[in-house]
Amino acid sequence: MSAALILQTTPWRENADDAALAVVAREVGGIDGIDVAAATADPQRTARVTGVPTVPADLPHLLRSAGHTDTLVVLGGRPLAGRRESLLSLRSLAALSQAYRAAGRRVAFVDLGVGKLSPRREGTARRLLAGSSLTVLDSAESAARLAAAGLPTPIRVGAHLGWHDLQDLPVRTEGPATFGALVVVDDATLVGGGGPAVLADRIALDLHRAAAGGLLPERLAVQARRPGSAAGVDLDAAQSLALGLRAKGLSAAVLPPSPSLRAQRDLLAASARVFAADAETLLAAAAARTPVTPWPTGQRAGGLLAHLGDRGLSAVREQVAAAGEVLDLLVLLLSEGAGTSGHPSHNSALQASRLRPTGVTR
């Protein structure tokens, strides 16, 4: 029996985070002899939404888990970007990784984001990742920062595993859209956009331009983006933006977050236009074939927007396929020793059967 602990270090939950964890559990769950547990910022919600057993994501519990865990996977998040963006400090994460490796356990980092690193943090980052069994970064910017910090190259860059859930693309329904325009906002988007008054000005101007002299959309909604513990602040952000839009003469309803990434894609498919700043909504809108007016504020969103360009569904399929390739690497790592002994090369036929050809999705 082999056990894997999936640690998601973000201090909030996003639908894409839930999707990534669920797809790992689903893929690994089909392999006999592997148990998967998760440690997240909201373990009760994680267990309810994904069906994955959970443990608290604090250092004492995680250290105790080393005694009965074969592989620790740090999935997503930006623990190398700063304490405010991670449940664990970089020093704590390095201590955790060292403890697991000292106990003979494997440690992997998948979809890891990297911020600016001071010289002292560069040294900690090198120690953290030098003994990793698998490291996949979230962007070329993250790879460049680690290369500058002295990590050996080449460094693998991959797609968010949550994008795997967007491979079943919706068919746009005929008839009037549920919303003429849907604005998806979170607290950081509101701040990055200059505040509710500035962002309302921008959206109103973009709506008038899109109308091209015609009627403005009758149904306009502002949706809070993140579920779980962040939903409250995001609902506050949505409400303040809706008030700003109403001051511009636009009637804007306020919507709660969607319960899943697929549900969000389907909502976007029923909208005529989307205004968004985050990578999750940008890609889900492209999968829904809904026009987007973006104002990217984050590293991942900016890079994804550049990748999407005007290619729409073909770019989405590339992201889905790239997510599948990262998933294959992770499944290959986690399946070492499950139902067999020794290195994966000792059972190469079994391991190869679990991999799809490059660029092919499930």
- pLDDT for 315-344, tens place per residue? 888 989 999 999 999 999 988 745 433 333
Per-residue confidence (pLDDT) for residue 184, from 0 to 100: 96
Per-residue confidence (pLDDT) for residue 357, from 0 to 100: 38
Per-residue confidence (pLDDT) for residue 215, from 0 to 100: 57
Cβ atoms of 241 and 225 closer than 8 Å: no
Q: Is 2 helix (H, G, I), strand (E, B) or coil?
A: strand
Q: Is 193 helix (H, G, I), strand (E, B) or coil?
A: coil
Per-residue confidence (pLDDT) for residue 176, from 0 to 100: 62
Which pair of structure tokens corresponds to residue 145? Answer: 């920062």
What stretches in the chain show pLDDT beneath 70? 82-83, 171-177, 211-217, 296-297, 299, 309-310, 337-362
| Cis amide leading into 154 (omega within 30) | yes
**Residue with structure tokens 């068919």?**
171
Q: Calculate the average pLDDT of the chain.
A: 84
State which H helix or E strand residue 185 sits in: strand 181-185
Cβ atoms of 64 and 35 closer than 8 Å: no
168 Cβ contact list (under 8 Å, min separation 6) = 262
Q: Where are the alpha helices (DSSP H) in the chain?
A: 15-29, 43-50, 59-65, 90-102, 119-130, 140-148, 187-192, 196-211, 231-247, 261-269, 279-287, 299-308, 313-334, 348-353
Cβ atoms of 232 and 264 closer than 8 Å: no
- d(C-alpha 158, C-alpha 111), whole Å: 7
Distance of CA 302 to the CA centre of its chain: 14
Question: 298 φ, ψ to 5°?
Answer: -120, 165
- d(C-alpha 204, C-alpha 200), whole Å: 6
- d(C-alpha 250, C-alpha 258), whole Å: 23
**Residue with structure tokens 């082999």?**
2
Per-residue confidence (pLDDT) for residue 32, from 0 to 100: 74
SS (H, E, C) 64-103: HHHHHCCEEEEECCCCECCHHHCCCCHHHHHHHHHHHHHC
Per-residue confidence (pLDDT) for residue 246, from 0 to 100: 93
